[in-house]
Amino acid sequence: MRRLRLNQDWIGRIRLALTIVGLPYAVCKPETRLSSSSPLSIIHSPSAADWVHNPYTNTLRMTSSTVAPPPHLKSRCQPYPGSQIKRFPVPDDKVDWSMVWPQYLPVQHTDPNVASRPTWADPDLGSKAFSPRFNRVDGPVDRTSFLGDYELLQNRPLNPRGRTGLAGRGLLGRWGPNHAADPIVTRWKVDATGQKVSHPASRRPVLQFISIKRKDCGEWAVPGGMVDPGETVTLTLQREFSEEALNSLALPAAERAQTHQRITQLFTAPGLQVYRGYVDDPRNTDNAWMETVAVNFHDETGNSVSELPLQAGDDAGQVTWVDLDSAFPLYASHSHFLETVAKERGAHW
């Protein structure tokens, strides 16, 4: 366990200096573009040992691609989403916890909605009858991280990717990792005669994916969502897709059953896992962060899911097929996932 010592005199001076020099840290919107040339380590193809790490994900196939993970930029964005709160500014060279920084004084913030104890959120640390088992599958809640064991500082989980300038949980419900799942449903773009359309610049065929416009921030995204307690990732992928892109919760019973059958066919075929790990999400804090599993389900012939009527539901304001293209800005790390899909399938990016 590491100790962070704080010297109050220094804190004010450092804050002032950072404000004056205007250190580079991202704003939450618009999206900071991600590229595979990011100066960060490369995720290597996982070994067999990765599959036994987490029982919730062992049915999925892994890709062989190596694409750089997203940088820790959105996790330092200003202001913190859903608030006017300014994070303590963290320059690039101080993100890593191993850099000793006694002056670091993160702002404490847990959103009032999270603190009011909705069913999806943990109680506060120290509350009676709350003894989370960090780094373990804790009853129905998976508190393991895809990055391996994380450290605790004064009993609080420490963000494995480093400092964010904000302590507490912010908008996130769980202390430590908050697990999500992202279904990327694709098909080939075809013309009126059914021929694949190629992009004039890359000459590669164009893939399309189902995208939703998120109600919370207005950004386009993959229709993903949080893994419910006790739920498998496979089920979350299908449930979130059905709720957000097909509005399954509002369909009449007969139609819902039919949709369910069609979707189950697509989602039980082995998906192509394009990402599994930490997400550079604007909601991240020093003590709570997003992790996700992104899986591509591809409708090669265009006659399976492509025929289902899209209808936005739940957290989605709009839903539509969108061409995969590096110029299209997307929420959190979603561009990074789509880049991997395009590369794996030899499509335009």
Q: Does 142 bind ligand BGC (CB under 6 A)?
A: no
Q: How far is the CB of 332 from ligand BGC (least distance, A)?
A: 3
Structure tokens at 185: 């449903």
Q: How far is the CB of 128 from ligand BGC (least distance, A)?
A: 29
Select from 292, 304, 335, 340 the one that contacts ligand BGC (CB under 6 A): 292
Distance CA 231, CA 223 (A): 17
Q: Does 293 bind ligand BGC (CB under 6 A)?
A: no
DSSP for 139-174, written as a single string: TTEE---TT-PPPEETTEE--TT---SEEEEET-SS
Q: What are phi and psi of 120, to 5 degrees?
A: -85, 0
Q: Does 165 bind ligand BGC (CB under 6 A)?
A: no
Instruction: Give rounded-to-5 percent helix, strand, coil for the chain.
Output: 25, 20, 55
Nearest to ligand BGC of 67, 180 (CB atom): 180
Q: Does 246 bind ligand BGC (CB under 6 A)?
A: no
Select from 34, 180, 251, 274 the one that contacts ligand BGC (CB under 6 A): 180
Q: What residues have CB less than 8 Å from 132, skipping those under 6 apart?
A: 122, 125, 138, 141, 143, 175, 176
Q: Does 281 bind ligand BGC (CB under 6 A)?
A: yes
Indicate the SS3 state at residue 184: strand
Nearest to ligand BGC of 105, 226 (CB atom): 226
Q: How far is the CB of 177 from ligand BGC (least distance, A)?
A: 11
Distance CA 97, CA 90 (A): 11
Q: How far is the CB of 97 from ligand BGC (least distance, A)?
A: 22
Q: How far is the CB of 206 from ligand BGC (least distance, A)?
A: 23
Q: How far is the CB of 155 from ligand BGC (least distance, A)?
A: 25
Q: Does 225 bind ligand BGC (CB under 6 A)?
A: yes
Q: How far is the CB of 123 from ligand BGC (least distance, A)?
A: 21
Structure tokens at 195: 């021929």
Q: How far is the CB of 115 from ligand BGC (least distance, A)?
A: 19
Q: Does 70 bind ligand BGC (CB under 6 A)?
A: no
DSSP for 287-307, written as a single string: SEEEEEEEEEEEESSS-SGGG
Q: How far is CA 277 from the centre of its chain?
A: 8
Distance CA 88, CA 51 (A): 37
Q: Does 173 bind ligand BGC (CB under 6 A)?
A: no
Select from 212, 290, 338, 347 the one that contacts ligand BGC (CB under 6 A): 290
Q: Does 227 bind ligand BGC (CB under 6 A)?
A: no
Q: What residues have CB less than 8 Å from 86, skipping those under 6 apart?
A: 78, 79, 80, 107
Beta strands 61-62 and 272-279 are parallel
Q: Does 221 bind ligand BGC (CB under 6 A)?
A: yes
Q: Which stretch binds ligand BGC (CB under 6 A): 3-11, 129-137, 216-224, 245-253?
A: 216-224
Residues forming the site for ligand BGC (CB under 6 A): 180, 182, 221-222, 224-226, 279, 281, 290, 292, 332
